Amino acid sequence: MAGSSREVTDEIRRRVGILDVISPHVTLRRAGRSYKGLCPFHSEKTPSFTVDPERGFFYCFGCHVGGDVFDFVMRIGSMPFKEALKDLADRAGVRLPETPADEQRAGDRERLLRAVAEAAAYFRAQLAAKGGESARRYLASRGVDPQCQETFQIGFAPAGWDHLLRALQARGFGSEVLEQAGLVVARPAGDGYYDALRDRVVFPMHDLQGRPVGFGGRAMGDGTPKYLNTRETPLFVKGKTLYLLDKARGPIRETGDAVVVEGYMDAVTCHQFGVQNAVASLGTALTLEQVLLLKRFASRAVLVYDADTAGEEAAQRGLLVCEQAELPARVAVLPGGADPDAFLRSRGPEAFRRALEEARPIFEYRLEVAWKRHDPETVEGKVGIVDEINQLISTVPNPVRQAEYVRILAERLAVREDAIRGQFRRAAQGDGGASNAVAVEVRPVSEATARAGAERLLLHLLVVDVTVREAIQSIEPGLFREAGHRALAEALLAPDAQAADPGRLRERLRDETAVSLLSRFLIAEPPPGDPVRTAEQCVLRIRRLGLQERVEELLGQLGDADRAKDQSRVEALQSELRDVYRELK
């Protein structure tokens, strides 16, 4: 909520009840001081979505989404904070302060949106006109019926250098605005502009509000490149956009599953054949930003890329970013090497859905690919498989999942787990330490869980009981290891936090995990027992676990120093060990 006026947001919270905002989207029933219903952000049968009208927060105990009234409007409308602020301000009758710079930026963006909208209308008209006969024939040959063309607002950019330019200039748009919108390109000699898309079937890209923001053009013959996107603009960033997400987000929320394909035609055909939870990555490698955007609506993803070498490589890169984003993902391999468009038209939607159901989990798919490339019966083959799988494991942020992958890999190859970790360590050293293959040093699950649990309990007490903050002066943000925990602790322990209400605390937070935790702690039942005493025990436990981990690190370093016969290093480590043991006792 950076850049917002506290007085304005406070006034909106006073005037707009969170129940009034959420009730049109969720059927809520009273449960004590809270209200419960089925979560609108993921598919569920048992209500786990809870609203606390007194504090003005919501939290889902199923998908862990939470926040205040602004967060709900942003999520349900898939809009940025500024638009949610305007929406709620209009509802509350609150006037938003605007600087001349704000008005200028808003005006510039509106001009670009109008220009792109006019271009979309122009392309649609050209498809229907006499000159669009070749594009209509092409779409008919691909099986895209007129109804589908209308649904997805497919158009046609005629051949020639400046048809769109002249048409939009006649409607009052300057060349500079059209260039900023990515619709035209400046000539190298500086003597004018020409159309960015020519003699192509045009697919408009929409934002989550359904507004066209950019275009993709598909060559109808042997033209190159086959797909051409308009350039990136303030409205359209290719690596942050998913084609048809504006239409697919509802079905994705209902099912929890997203189907990710490569090209526009693949996505269009999926929707035409009833697979309405499909989106396309604009024919490029799936990016982390795209996956994080998808994760706002999906609990799982299935990647269905072309069955050629390029498609296989794209699928593997997509899996890596899904692991980074912690979005469970699988890969569907279509038989016969077909792409989704051709497969659906030749085999039908039921066969396609069966292929989706048989999709392979990330790790199994990567292991199968590595197995085909290397001979697991030879030493060199085993090394090659381990090196390939390290590319996946090194991106996994969850240490438990990393440890399980290492265990499975060791069993399949019939080698020791410590040998695989050693190979990972050497690969990381070979990259100058750039790899984050933390599977080499996975902490025991029980210890990691104990520390995280103690941190969460302490944070819960800090959120619901101001006396804990006042009584235990030794608590500081550095005590918390988890990034989301630390972010919430920094907001809670700020000098003026004791007088802050939950809404003000929310405004300090930028980390989504921290927002989720704050919402959970405000809505959940407070921990039993004496809060100050429980908090003191949490602090003691966190510090003890930290010291125990330091002992393990020092013992490992001591062994290395002893083997290297570095006596001075040995003595220094022994001295530090004695100090840590004394502190532990």
pLDDT per position as a tens digit, 478-527:
889 888 899 999 999 887 765 568 888 898 898 888 999 999 999 998 89
Instruction: Please tell me the distance from the alpha carbon of residue 48 to that of residue 28, in angstroms, as a whole number.
Output: 11
How many Cα neighbours within 13 Å face the side chain of 353? Answer: 10
| H or E stretch covering 202 | strand 200-206
Residues 6+ apart with CB under 8 A from 459: 480, 485, 488, 489, 492, 517, 521
Cβ(265)–Cβ(154) under 8 Å?
no
Q: What is the predicted pLDDT for the residue at 441?
A: 34
Helix (H, G, I), strand (E, B) or coil at 1: coil
Pick the CATH number of 103-235 from 3.90.980.10, 3.40.720.10, 3.90.950.10, 1.20.1260.10: 3.90.980.10
What pTM was computed for the model?
Answer: 0.64
CATH 3.40.1360.10 at 240-358, yes or no: yes
Q: What is the predicted pLDDT for the residue at 397?
A: 65
Thinking of the domain 443-585, which architecture would CATH place it in?
Answer: Orthogonal Bundle (1.10)
In whole angstroms, what separates CA 510 from the centre of its chain? 15
pLDDT per position as a tens digit, 198-228:
999 999 999 888 899 999 999 997 778 888 9
Instruction: Please tell me the distance from the alpha carbon of residue 406 to that of residue 492, in angstroms, as a whole number.
Output: 39
The domain ranges of the chain are 6-92, 103-235, 240-358, 374-441, 443-585
Long-range contacts of 213-221 (CB under 8 A, 24+ apart): 213/113, 213/116, 213/241, 214/116, 214/182, 214/238, 214/241, 215/116, 215/119, 215/120, 215/123, 215/182, 215/183, 216/243, 216/264, 216/282, 216/283, 217/157, 218/264, 218/265, 220/134, 220/135, 220/138
Q: What is the predicted pLDDT for the residue at 307?
A: 59
Q: What is the mean pLDDT of each run of 10 residues along the chain (585 residues)?
A: 65 91 90 91 86 94 92 86 88 78 70 95 96 94 92 95 95 94 91 94 92 94 85 90 92 90 92 95 80 85 75 72 84 83 93 92 81 86 84 71 83 84 68 36 44 90 86 86 90 74 87 91 91 90 84 83 84 84 79
Instruction: Please tell me the distance from the alpha carbon of residue 442 to that of residue 402, in angstroms, as a whole number.
Output: 8
Hey, what are 511's tokens? Answer: 């980390």
Instruction: Please tell me the distance from the alpha carbon of residue 484 to that of residue 233, in angstroms, as a whole number.
Output: 32
Q: What is the predicted pLDDT for the residue at 308?
A: 60
Residue in this structure with the two tokens 């008005």, named with its chain if needed:
103
Domains 103-235 and 443-585 share a fold: no
Cβ(505)–Cβ(566) under 8 Å?
no
Q: What is the predicted pLDDT for the residue at 143?
A: 92
Q: What is the predicted pLDDT for the residue at 337?
A: 72
Cβ(84)–Cβ(70) under 8 Å?
yes
Residue in this structure with the two tokens 């800090």, named with its chain if needed:
462
Q: Is the link from the previous residue into 225 a cis peptide, with omega within 30 of 0? A: yes
CATH of the domain spanning 6-92: 3.90.580.10
